[in-house]
Structure 1
Amino acid sequence: MFATFILLWVISILLIYANPKTTWAWWGSACFFLNGFGGVAVIFSDNIIPYVAKLNCIKLWKICCIIQCIADILHHYFATYAFMCFALYFTKFLGIKISTATKHFILFLLAMPSIGTFIIYPQFEPSYKLLSAWVVPYTIVANAILIISVIKEKECSERYHKVLVCICATPTTLILMWTSYLSVAMGIDRAWELNIYIILAQFIIFVTIAFKHGILGIRLRVERSNLDEAIDTTMSGMSIISHAIKNESATINLCVDTIRATANLDANTERKLNIIKNSSRNLSDFAQRINKFRIYDMDLEPHDLKSLVDKTITQVSPMLFNKDIKIINKCKENITVTVDSVHASEVLKNLIINSIEAIETNGIIRIESEYVNNKVCLSVIDNGIGIDPENIKKVLTPFYSTKKSNNNFGLGLSYCYRVMKCHKGNLKISSKVNQGTKMSLFFPAKRVFSLNSISVKAESNS
């Protein structure tokens, strides 16, 4: 029985850890935690109390009896109540809109049977017939609520999640209702001994679902390789396409030169051709440095950060055509960082393009710089659709993308992350769905060539 309460308490802790701010998680955790006290009570009654009795220590024996009594009371009188509360909050009271005060009043009424049949020290001798009179309907109604919520749910992913919860909860609670309450009320002796096998089976089902699908916000996984290794593997194959990139870049340059030589161009067309020419040159430089990147060889030189940002904004400006999006460069003056300008510009371009694509209609993209924790931070901030919390940790993984377009390969942010690592820096992402995303590039102080009025501080920390 020792394993019983350990397994239940492990699930209880995982549930709170994964969902610390949700009410249903606390009730679900309480249900697991209180059921675990059933195992504690059995250990005391079958093992600890008989052993202490042989020591002829009456005081210690009474303490052990009190502990067993409390554990039994917590298990029998409150676990089912917690399960009912979990079902109500998890299903949002079956979608019925009621006030918070009304919800609390319902919980108070539901607690009345637990409090009314409460039996205190010195012995735990409840009337199982009386106990079953409310535990049985509570268990059946709670499971009915979960099943009805599955039927009512229209969104496929949510319905699937609720089905998994029912698979994990319904069979176990109904069987425990029989072994722990009804069987005792009917005079069937020690049917509760099956509980250890039931709970073990529930734990196996829970862990299996958590590994394969995730359940109640808990997703277990085995990491086969870390992010750096995955990106290294991806970049090792990038040299295969570098030759093709250089050829395409040369073709673009040739076309631009041909247009200029054969037509009289107005100022606006000439400006656009310059953008194409510069972008093509940048692409060519990028392709030439892929092999260097594989061995982490960066051409580091001092560059003015604001100028680097301005240049990158010019390169992405054609993407703003017919879009009501403003890019604001709020980067501070006179910040010089030692970077590989080609790769740094490409990283910044990737982040800005991501922000543009995340804005559905109109919006603002701000590029800001600040000095925090001995690092220069360059942030790209948008008010786009944001990133789901479950996807934030995945977006840096090679070939993973939340975008639906066919020409997106999910390599952009992986590349950005690796470039920042080569600069001894970092890339961090924070986002809220439907509010926006902030992607921050951190350059360590030793990469800062000058930093306005706090250059002395940066040098002292290098």
Structure 2
Amino acid sequence: MFMFIMVALLWLMSSILFFRNPQNEKIRWASVIGFCGGFGGIGALLGKGIDRPEWILHLDGIFTSIGHYFTPYGMLIFGIVYSDVIGNVRKRNILKLLLLIPIFIMYSMFQVYPEFRVDFRILAIWVAPYVIAANILLIYSAWREDRPIIKRRKILTCVFVVPMFTFALTTNIILEALGIVGVWRYNPWIIVIQFLVFVYSGVKYGILGVRIRFEKEMRDSTMKAARSGTALFNHTIKNEIAKIDLLVNQIKEQIPPEEKSAENLGLVLNSTNHVLELSRRIQSKLDVIDLKESEFSLIESIDSAINLLKPYLNMNLNITIIKQCNQRL
């Protein structure tokens, strides 16, 4: 029963992560860890011994091997992707393939059918470095981060993920290799605690992208408020310009066409018509505006703003602009 709860919570957390932001590679690999760990739990639920139906023996071997082999692999890849230590996509993909080599070796050395068997001492030789390296990469990523908000999120991620990785490594691999068998049966209690921490952190602070939904709702709400406020402002401008247009027309009718004032009033009317047309165009754009997330350089935006101001700055030689920017912006 407790193992079933563990699998359900693992897959629930993984599903929440994945469907919140499937385009994010970090989120995808975090989901892989949970799904693979859940497969290991399913293998435990299928029981032991060869006196079981053939299809259960096959499923047990597949699921249990996925849990033992691919979970630590997913942990390390998640650490690499999350820390951005390898920025080049091609190099990162090559490394992902190379890190699969121990898994292929394990499948060639140990049986999966009719019953999964593995030497945990050999398994620990590569699994322990994988998990430890993943922890180090996560901690390093949080340590080197100098943007306060992102640093806090990375620290929260470390607080949530590193103990989970370490506990799984210790109970599932290290203790088994040392001959201390069965401690992994306490994992469901740890998973329940981690799930509660996951929900609390995700709702309050945002962890591993879970808060994206709430942030998107806040952004949509802000956009609706911006549209409403701009529409109101736009409507007010139209009303005032319409008044000006009406009054200028009345004055123009009282002035002979040959006088200079009549020409100036004509220019005013042209300007009011232009403003009204501009107002209609702004309103039409507001009706179809759609915000999309994208990466941008804050430094380039600052440079662009300064360049727009240069004509005005050149008119006053006493103005000096000093730009100090972190190169990681």
TM-score, normalized by length of structure 2?
0.66
Q: Is the 8 A contact 1:31 1:79 kept in 2?
A: yes
Deviations 1:421-445 (A, max 9, x none): xxxxxxxxxxxxxxxxxxxxxxxxx
Report which of the two has the higher share of strand: 1
Alpha carbons of structure 1 residues 267 and 154: separation in structure 2 relative to 1, 3 Å: farther
Partner of 1:35: 37
Partner of 2:268: 272
Alpha carbons of structure 1 residues 181 and 267: separation in structure 2 relative to 1, 3 Å: farther
SS in 2 for 1:140: helix
Distance in 2 separating the partners of 1:183 and 1:125: 16
Shift of 1:107: 1.8
Distance in 2 separating the partners of 1:148 and 1:14: 26
- 2:143 pairs, out of 151, 167, 170, with 151
Partner of 1:166: 158
Partner of 1:111: 100
Q: Is the 8 A contact 1:41 1:71 kept in 2?
A: yes
Distance in 2 separating the partners of 1:264 and 1:163: 72
Distance in 1 separating the partners of 2:4 and 2:89: 42
Partner of 1:217: 209
Say yes or no: does 1:139 pair with 2:139: no
Q: How does 1:42-441 map to 2 (within 5 A)?
A: 42-45=44-47, 58=51, 60-92=52-84, 94=85, 96-98=86-88, 100=90, 102-118=91-107, 119=110, 120-219=112-211, 265=261, 267=263, 270-272=266-268, 275=271, 312=277, 315-316=278-279, 345=280, 349-352=282-285, 387-389=291-293
Alpha carbons of structure 1 residues 135 and 276: separation in structure 2 relative to 1, 3 Å: same
Q: Is the 8 A contact 2:39 2:63 kept in 1?
A: yes
Percent of residue pairs identical: 25
Shift of 1:186: 2.3
SS in 2 for 1:20: coil
- Aligned length, in residue pairs: 272
Distance in 1 separating the partners of 2:154 and 2:193: 19
Partner of 1:426: none
Q: Is the 8 A contact 1:41 1:72 kept in 2?
A: yes
Q: Is the 8 A contact 1:179 1:192 kept in 2?
A: yes
Deviations 1:282-322 (A, max 9, x none): xxxxxxxxxxxxxxxxxxxxxxxxxxxxx53xx44xxxxxx
Matched residue type, 1:109: L
- 2:13 pairs, out of 11, 30, 45, with 11
**RMSD across aligned positions (CA):** 4.2
Higher relative contact order (CA 8 A, sep 6+): 2
Deviations 1:330-372 (A, max 9, x none): xxxxxxxxxxxxxxx5xx53355x6xxxxxxxxxxxxxxxxxx
Distance in 1 separating the partners of 2:40 and 2:13: 15
SS in 2 for 1:123: coil
SS in 1 for 2:100: helix
Shift of 1:86: 1.6
Shift of 1:110: 1.5
Shift of 1:213: 3.1
Report which of the two has the higher share of helix: 2
Q: Is the 8 A contact 2:27 2:209 kept in 1?
A: no
Q: Is the 8 A contact 1:253 1:277 kept in 2?
A: no
Deviations 1:161-205 (A, max 9, x none): 323322221111111111111122223232112210111122222
Distance in 1 separating the partners of 2:96 and 2:87: 16
Shift of 1:84: 0.7
Matched residue type, 2:53: W
Shift of 1:75: 0.6
SS in 1 for 2:210: coil
SS in 1 for 2:53: helix
Distance in 2 separating the partners of 1:267 and 1:154: 61
Alpha carbons of structure 1 residues 278 and 73: separation in structure 2 relative to 1, 3 Å: closer
Partner of 1:2: 4
